[in-house]
Amino acid sequence: MRANALALAGPTFFGEPSLKTDRADQDREKAFALARALKTMGLLAFAPSPSDLAAGPDELARLVTASAGTPLSADNAGFLRWIVRDMAGVKVGFVGVGPSPQPREAAKTAVAAARTEGAQVLVVLGSVGRGEAKRIADDLPDLTAIVVGSEASVGEANTLAPPIERLGDVLVIETGNHLQQVAVLDLWVREGSFRFAADGTPPVQGSFSRVSLVDVHERMGKDPEVRAELLSLYKRIDDRNRERFRDRLPRPSAPGAARYVGVEECKACHVGSWKVWKTTQHARAFETLQSAFKGHNLDCVGCHVTGYDEPGGSTVGHVERLEGVQCETCHGPGSLHVKTPLDPSLLVGKPKPTRCLGCHHPPHVEGFDAETALGRILGPGHGK
């Protein structure tokens, strides 16, 4: 017989411990869309991190209901400490541990309680970081695995998944953040043994395990329900932000400072460069967002328009004349150059490739080579 379970550790609904004012509504919408998607995927249990309380305990309770998962924390009286489920005739216990003064003691107590309930296989979900997770594994050598999650996920950078370790018989499993990977742990129970031989050639007798990290990408396929949920999310965010930020105008430029003028002003004198630019994805960057209902999405818009949140530039509610990644994204605001075109100090004449990294960075873009990419936006009359 076969049985499957989906379990998580670490930030699940919110990455950071607090919500930023402008982004709070959008982040809540994302959290509930994620919760509904997890329900579709059959979430069994998760170990909340402090970040999951970013919108408060009442909001977390609503997210839990939407996800249909069970929050587990051996050191938080508001959650269950463990659950035991019959899976293909095997009683599997899941214990959740979060950051606390004594997470190891909390884990020991909860694991012992799950044992008394008949758990034959035990998995700890630890939102405690890798170091503490390994100490828990040392203290509880009869665990099958500990799934490592962090207390919070600050910033946008992706983390690398460390190698899967085995401490005695305990597997220590950690994926990269932002759902870059899922860990797949397969357990074969034979002859009533719950001590699992390590990955490799299956033994002639006895139980064994296999574990792997699987990268998550679109080539794996798309679930129709989840895809519909995401589309609905993007539409709701777009509509709400369009209304909410409609009166947010760009900050004025300082007296005597340059402001953004838009590509049509540049085209008047630099038609050759404009022709090259029109053939690039930069020219269609804002259209790409609009077609996906993300034109007012705070996660996206800043890198698809020109002069975003800059003095004399654009805002999420006002991008007129500055749609797409235009000349001034690389060369700087051009109003003073328009007035005095022969003064080379008023623009960045040859932008360095490092300028591209303001937008082309993880988690949005992986493995980006700025030197190589720069060649794709140059042409006769524009750098060649």
| CATH code of the domain containing 175 | 3.60.21.10
The pLDDT score that the predictor gives to residue 265 is 96
Our count of domains for the chain comes to 2
| pLDDT tens profile 16-71 | 999 999 999 999 999 999 999 999 999 999 999 999 999 999 999 999 999 999 99
Task: Say yes or no to pLDDT of 156 above 90.
Answer: no
Q: What is the CATH number of the domain that holds 373?
A: 1.10.1130.10
* pLDDT score of 127 more than 90: yes
For residues 309 and 221, the model is more confident at: 309
Question: Per-residue pLDDT averaged across 234-256, rounded?
Answer: 96
Specify whether 86 is located in the same domain as 170: yes
280-295: burial string, b at 16+ Cβ within 10 Å, e else: bebbbbbeebeeebbb
Domain with 109 in it: 6-220
What is the DSSP annotation of 163-222?
PPEEETTEEEE---TTTTEEEEEEEE--TT---PBPSSSPPSSS-EEEEEEEE--GGG--
Regarding whether 191 and 269 lie in a shared domain, the answer is no
**288: in domain:** yes
Judgement on whether residues 51 and 174 belong to the same structural domain of the protein: yes
268 shares a domain with 203? no
Residues 277 and 169 in one domain: no
Do 260 and 216 share a structural domain? Answer: no
For the residues 120-131, what does the mean pLDDT come to? 96
Q: Is residue 228 pLDDT above 90, yes or no?
A: yes
Distance CA 103, CA 98 (A): 7
Domain co-membership, 88 together with 24: yes
**How many other CB atoms are found less than 10 A from the CB of residue 319?**
22
